[in-house]
């Protein structure tokens, strides 16, 4: 893909790019909505990537083009970049440039051509991939010397402030920091990380991603409401973040919340979800991949019943996969549509796939997009080449 992207760059901008970079989308194995509660998450990178061909400019101009969106090159002046003013895809790369400059990094312009294979609207972090690939390219070209976690923080700032979405740090860190063949055990409080080997194939297993191809329109507002509810819970319990409520003290904490029924449900999800991440880490370390199945199922029930961010399509995907023999299944990502994952014996992939296709057809839902996810590398430079190299 990198050569095609470099060639297209040359067609658009007249000379070859200074380099080509890639950043992946992600699947989250477990640890949902814990990231803005200073908790634990466990994503891994997908083989699907956003690829960017990039060259520097010195004249304060940012030119952006995407192979995936109709329309020509968008030209912006760096001095004009203003948070909250761009509702298009260009807000992600422009937001990164804004965040870098706002943090004092001497970025003087860029020509960018992007092409992505990360499905959009599927809860697989296509926007984080766009942000991270641009951040990494500029970090390399401008020799900023930023650490991967610093790039993730800058990209989160772009998303929170420039784009205006109140998301946590998981997606950008996953895209920037994941490693091939591993899931990333991330403590979102201090961004400390452990790479946990996650070799599905060696265990005769597969992880199916079920992109329901629906994104319910209220999802953004509901995300913000859950976040505010969690913050209210932390305030009522007198802790900095719900991460600070130990699992062993959950019942006492819930009792203190009294009749705050909604907050009780949110707190219960976050505290039990953090414990589930720790359980999955322990099981993977012990080489017991199959045993994570029931933990994934518990996680889905908690997201459906307590956090209330599932939807009929996601529940159907999970229930059908389990009924067809999956060892575990859950929704993944922000919720209200997007994707589910199912942990499946290699020999059962066809059965589960067929069951999902039939169940969605019988329910009158759009046919899901199904693929197998293998833990892939995080963001990286693909080559140094201009098209002549
Ligand atoms: C979205 C956000 C993440 C995280 C997940 C839910 O993907 O971007 O920060 O909160 O939802 O786990």
- Range 6-15 average pLDDT: 98
Q: How far is the CA of 14 from the centre of ligand 1 (A)?
A: 39
Nearest residue (CA) to ligand 1, atom 10: 33
CA–CA dist 175, 245 (Å, integer): 28
Residue 269: give its domain's CATH number: 3.30.70.890
- Asked if residue 269 lies in contact with residue 263, where contact means CB atoms within 8 angstroms, the answer is no
Query: Is 88 among the domain residues?
Result: yes
The span from the CA of 136 to the CA of 176, in Å, is 8
Say whether pLDDT at 47 is over 70: yes
Same structural domain, 256 and 122: no
**In this predicted structure, what is the pLDDT of residue 220?**
82
From the alpha carbon of 34, which atom of ligand 1 is closest? 12
Q: Do the domain assignments include residue 124?
A: yes
What CATH number has the domain bearing residue 79? Answer: 3.30.230.10
Residue 35, ligand 1, Cβ within 6 A: yes
Residue 269 lies inside a defined structural domain of this protein? yes
- The dihedrals phi and psi of 360, each to the nearest 5 degrees, come to -65, -40
Q: Are residues 106 and 202 in the same domain?
A: no
**208 CA distance to ligand 1 middle (Å):** 20
**Do 171 and 96 share a structural domain?**
yes
Greater confidence, 246 or 388? 246
Question: Residue 387 falls within a domain, yes or no?
Answer: no
- Report the chain's mean pLDDT, rounded to a whole number: 96
Burial label for 244, CB within 10 Å (0-12, 13-18, 19+), is middle
Domain assignment of residue 389, yes or no: no
Written as six digits, the tokens of 32 are 């949902």
Domain membership of residue 102 (yes or no) is yes
Q: Would the pLDDT of 389 be above 50? A: no
Residues 191 and 212 in one domain: no
**Residue span of the structural domain in which 97 resides:** 2-195+376-381
pLDDT at 200 over 90: yes
Ligand 1 atom closest to residue 41's alpha carbon, by position in its atom list: 12
Evaluate: CB of 299 within 6 angstroms of ligand 1.
Answer: no
Any idea which residue has 């090159």 for tokens? 73
pLDDT in tens, 153-174: 999 999 999 999 999 999 999 9
Tell me: do 237 and 172 sit in the same domain: no
How confident is the model at residue 89, as a pLDDT?
96
| 61-66 vs 40-41, strand pairing mode | unpaired
Instruction: Using most ligand atoms within 8 A of CB, pick from 171, 241, 299 the residue to mutate for ligand 1.
Output: 171
Residues 128, 174: Cα–Cα separation, whole Å: 9
User: Rounded mean pLDDT of 18-38?
Assistant: 98
Q: How many CA atoms lie within 13 A of 21 on its CB side?
A: 25
| Ligand 1 mean position, distance from CA 388 (Å) | 40
Average pLDDT in the 166-185 region?
98
Angle at CA of residue 32, ends 31 and 37, nearest 5°? 90
Determine what percent of the chain is predicted with pLDDT higher than 70: 98
- Same domain for 180 and 254, yes or no, is no
Judge whether residue 307 has pLDDT over 50: yes
How many angstroms is it from 197 CA to the middle of ligand 1? 23
Domain count, the chain: 2
Which run of H or E residues covers position 116?
A: strand 109-116
Residues 236 and 138 in one domain: no
Does 171 qualify as catalytic in the annotation? yes
Task: Convert the pLDDT of each residue in 335-345 to its tens digit.
Answer: 999 999 999 99
Report field, pTM of the whole predicted structure over 0.85: yes
> What percent of the chain shows pLDDT beyond 90?
96
Of 44, 167, 225, 309, the one to substitute when testing ligand 1's pocket (max ligand atoms within 8 A of C-beta) is 167
132: nearest Cα among 103, 157, 167:
157
Residue 388 resides in a domain:
no
How far does the centroid of ligand 1 lie from the alpha carbon of residue 128, in Å?
10
Indicate the top mutation candidate among 28, 32, 33 to test ligand 1's pocket, ranked by most ligand atoms within 8 A of CB.
33
Q: Are 189 and 235 in a shared domain?
A: no
User: For 276-304, what is each residue's pLDDT tens digit?
Assistant: 999 999 999 999 999 999 999 999 999 99
**In ligand 1, which atom is closest to the CA atom of 28?**
12
Distance from the alpha carbon of residue 170 to the mean position of ligand 1, in angstroms: 6
Q: Is the CB of 167 under 6 A from ligand 1?
A: yes
Q: Do 100 and 153 belong together in one domain?
A: yes
Which mutation among 334, 336, 337 tests ligand 1's pocket best, with the greatest number of atoms within 8 A of CB?
A: 334
Q: What is the mean pLDDT of residues 212-231?
A: 92
**C-alpha span between 341 and 372 (Å, rounded):** 9
Question: Looking at the structure, do residues 179 and 314 belong to the same domain, yes or no?
Answer: no
pLDDT of 261: 97
Check if 159 has its Cβ closer than 6 Å to any atom of ligand 1: no
pLDDT tens figures, 79-129: 999 999 999 999 999 999 999 999 999 999 999 999 999 999 999 999 999
The protein residue with its alpha carbon nearest to ligand 1, atom 3, reads 168
Cβ–ligand 1 distance for 32 under 6 Å, the answer yes
Instruction: Calculate how far, in angstroms, residue 60's C-alpha sits from the geometric centre of ligand 1.
Output: 33
Torsional sign, CA 265, 270, 272, 273? positive
Residues 233 and 306 in one domain: yes
Which residue, among 36, 48, 37, 51, has the nearest Cα to 4 in the 3D structure?
Answer: 51
If one compares 384 and 165, the residue with the highest pLDDT of the two is 165
251, 220: one domain: yes
Candidate list 38, 111, 171, 211, residue with the active-site label: 171
Residue 251 lies in a domain: yes
Q: For 16-26, what is each residue's pLDDT tens digit? A: 999 999 999 99
Query: Edge-to-edge, what's the strand order for the sheet holding 369-372?
Result: 328-332, 337-345, 205-215, 369-372
186 pLDDT exceeds 80? yes
């Amino acid at each position: 893909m990198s050569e095609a992207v470099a060639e297209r760059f040359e067609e658009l901008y007249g000379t070859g790019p200074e380099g080509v970079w890639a950043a992946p989308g992600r699947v989250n194995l477990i640890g949902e909505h814990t990231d803005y509660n200073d908790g634990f998450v466990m994503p891994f990178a997908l083989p699907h990537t956003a690829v960017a061909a990039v060259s520097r400019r010195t004249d304060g101009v940012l030119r952006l083009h995407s192979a995936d969106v109709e329309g020509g090159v968008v030209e912006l002046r760096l001095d004009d970049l203003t948070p909250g003013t761009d509702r298009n895809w260009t807000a992600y790369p422009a937001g990164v440039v804004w965040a870098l400059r706002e943090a004092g990094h001497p970025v003087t312009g860029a020509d960018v051509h992007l092409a992505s294979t990360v499905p959009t609207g599927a809860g697989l972090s296509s926007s984080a991939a766009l942000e991270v690939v641009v951040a990494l390219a500029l970090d390399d070209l401008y020799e900023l010397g930023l650490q991967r976690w610093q790039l993730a923080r800058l990209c989160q700032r772009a998303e929170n402030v420039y784009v205006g979405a109140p998301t946590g740090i998981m997606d950008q860190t996953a895209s920037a920091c994941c490693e091939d063949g591993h899931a990333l055990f991330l403590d979102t409080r201090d961004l400390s990380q452990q790479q946990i080997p996650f070799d599905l194939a060696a265990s005769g297993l597969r992880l199916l991603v079920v992109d329901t191809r629906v994104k319910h329109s209220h999802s953004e507002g509901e995300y913000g409401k859950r976040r505010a509810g969690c913050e209210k819970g932390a305030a009522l319990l007198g802790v900095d973040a719900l991460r600070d409520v130990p699992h062993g003290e959950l019942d006492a904490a819930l009792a203190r919340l009294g009749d705050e029924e909604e907050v009780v449900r949110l707190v219960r999800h976050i505290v039990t979800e953090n414990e589930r991440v720790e359980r999955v880490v322990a099981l993977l370390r012990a080489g017991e991949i199959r045993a994570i199945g029931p933990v994934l199922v518990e996680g889905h029930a908690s997201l459906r019943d307590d956090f209330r961010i599932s939807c009929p399509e996601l529940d159907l995907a999970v229930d059908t996969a389990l009924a067809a023999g999956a060892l575990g299944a859950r929704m993944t990502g922000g919720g209200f549509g997007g994707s589910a994952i199912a942990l499946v014996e290699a020999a059962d992939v066809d059965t589960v796939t067929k069951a999902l296709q039939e169940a969605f057809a019988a329910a009158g839902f759009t046919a899901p997009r199904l693929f197998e996810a293998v833990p892939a590398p995080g963001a990286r430079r693909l080559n140094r080449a201009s098209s002549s190299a």
